[in-house]
Amino acid sequence: MQISVIGCGYLGAVHAACMAKLGHDVVGIDVDERKIADLAAGKAPFFEPGLEELLLEVQATGRLTFTTDMSAAQGSTVHFVCVGTPQKKGENAADMTYVDAATQALLPYLSAGDVVVGKSTVPVGTAARLAELVLQQEPKAHLAWNPEFLREGHAVKDTLTPDRFVYGVHEGSEDHAAVAALDEVYSTPLGMGTRRLVADYATAELVKAAANSFLATKISFINAMAEVCEAAGADVTVLADAIGLDDRIGRKFLNAGIGFGGGCLPKDIRAFMARAGELGADQALTFLREVDAINMRRRTRTVELTRELCGGVLMGQRITVLGAAFKPDSDDVRDSPALSIAAQLQLQGAVVTVTDPESLGNAARRFPELNYEANTEEALRNADAVLLLTEWKEYRHLDPHETRDLVGNARILDGRNALDPQKWRAAGWTYRGVGRP
Ligand code: UDX
């Protein structure tokens, strides 16, 4: 199929490459000339495992091109809208500027039979509104909403073999032309047994908001348990293992730590609350305010734990922060709890050095006042306290003996419960985890 992908960020660049991998002819379109130049040269504009290899592989077939010219969408039958919906400045609601602008820019190039497919995470009601615009422009074109559930760090696999597809179409009709078009787009994964559900627009939009809210709630639940464990002298990691063995609960997403961040969960639960408020259903989602509050409390709590670890004073303490990205295998620092903690420590007088395998460039652009050191050993040298805040594999595998020889004071706060406390204590470290004695 001829496919256009509008917006080539964390979502669109991966989607475009994966659609080409599935055998389609794809053009990726973005207003950012630098991003497009990178992608056209087979270079991923951000760190995502496997993406660069995939870009080179599919570009060699000639099935994937990139441009800043929206007219290149003409001739495609399926147009995926993959632009961002960040949080509005000073408000909880989602900023719809990019979705609206991308759709408007695409309209003149639509032909009869084309399907515009929204993948961005949007407030419920957006698809119905955009469907009107599409129909006004081209009465024989269609709009579908096909939310994306990919995780950064696993984006290629999640796109090629997702857990499920959700198609939101007018009135949720299985016979809708957009359903047939999307079935053709995804014929390979569907052939491998991936489930697909057809829903009306509002349900499809809400599936995404509900899924992210559930994940955020699960993380805040275990972080709330960590608070109680700390007060009671219990161990949240054992508690999570034990409750996770109940199939109805499950162990995934029950890792207590410094909380969730990134470009999705934090802003999506806030946008969901804001939209529910507009719809008069705000009471239904007041619990998400608590989910958000528990999550933000992890950051202040980590600063306090660090102060305790440093003997009650942060002023002048040399603190090494391992990890700046919001999660491992990503260079994304949007709303990263690790960086936000590093910045707070610095504000309180600590001398903070941050290291990360992939995200130092992004981190320095966001928080230029922090010190950055790419080399882990150098970052650790003479530290008064070490904070493991993003659980990259190389930090999980640090040797406590070798690390002790580098630092000034062998004190570590394991903000992700990623290390073996016994091993670190046996090597002479003062070890603090999250929600464990
Ligand atoms: C999330 C959803 O998982 C994905 O389905 C959606 O499409 C986009 O938002 P992502 O933001 O890539 O994906 O990251 P995810 O793996 O969900 O992690 C989110 C945050 O939660 C990270 O900061 C991570 O460190 C944290 N987390 C995750 C925990 O603190 N504990 C856990 O047990 C799991």
pLDDT digits (tens, 9 = 90+) for 59-118: 999 999 999 999 999 999 999 999 999 999 999 999 999 999 999 999 999 999 999 999
Domain definitions of the chain by residue range: 2-198, 200-437
| Contact indicator for 197, 164 with CB cutoff of 8 Å | yes
How far apart CA 250 and CA 219 sit, in angstroms, is 12
Atom of ligand 1 nearest to the CA of 328: 25
| Contact indicator for 73, 106 with CB cutoff of 8 Å | yes
**Architecture field, domain 200-437:** 3-Layer(aba) Sandwich (3.40)
Atom of ligand 1 nearest to the CA of 253: 33
Atom of ligand 1 nearest to the CA of 153: 12
Are both 2-198 and 200-437 of the same fold? yes
End-to-end CA distance of the chain: 57
Protein residues with CB under 6 Å of any ligand 1 atom: 148-152, 212, 215, 219, 253-255, 257, 259-262, 264-265, 326-327
Q: Give the residue whose CA is nearest to atom 9 of ligand 1.
A: 264
* Average pLDDT per block of 10 residues along the chain, 437 residues long: 97 98 98 97 95 96 97 98 96 97 98 98 98 98 98 97 97 96 98 97 98 98 98 98 98 98 97 98 97 98 97 98 98 98 98 98 97 98 98 98 98 98 98 96
SS3 (DSSP) at 166: strand
Decide: residue 121, CB within 10 A, 0-12 exposed, 13-18 middle, 19+ buried.
buried
Q: Give the residue whose CA is nearest to atom 17 of ligand 1.
A: 151
Give the distance (Å) from ligand 1 centre to CA of residue 220: 12
Write down the pLDDT at residue 91.
96
Give the distance (Å) from ligand 1 centre to CA of residue 260: 6
How far apart CA 437 and CA 434 sit, in angstroms, is 9
Give the distance (Å) from ligand 1 centre to CA of residue 175: 35
Atom of ligand 1 nearest to the CA of 255: 33
How far apart CA 106 and CA 101 sit, in angstroms, is 9
Q: Indicate the fold that domain 2-198 takes in CATH.
A: Rossmann fold (3.40.50)
Write down the pLDDT at residue 165.
98
Write down the pLDDT at residue 107.
98
Catalytic residues: 264
Atom of ligand 1 nearest to the CA of 254: 33
Q: What is the biggest distance separating any 2 CA atoms in the chain, rounded to whole angstroms?
A: 72
Write down the pLDDT at residue 3.
98
> Of all helices (H) and strands (E), which one includes residue 26?
strand 25-29
Give the distance (Å) from ligand 1 centre to CA of residue 273: 19
Give the distance (Å) from ligand 1 centre to CA of residue 286: 21
Which of 151, 205, 340, 396 has the most ligand 1 atoms within 8 A of CB, as the residue to mutate? 151
How far apart CA 349 and CA 358 sit, in angstroms, is 26
How far apart CA 9 and CA 17 sit, in angstroms, is 12
Q: Give the residue whose CA is nearest to atom 10 of ligand 1.
A: 151
| Contact indicator for 10, 332 with CB cutoff of 8 Å | yes
Structure tokens at 44: 């991923």
How far apart CA 124 and CA 334 sit, in angstroms, is 24
Which of 327, 340, 356, 359 has the most ligand 1 atoms within 8 A of CB, as the residue to mutate? 327
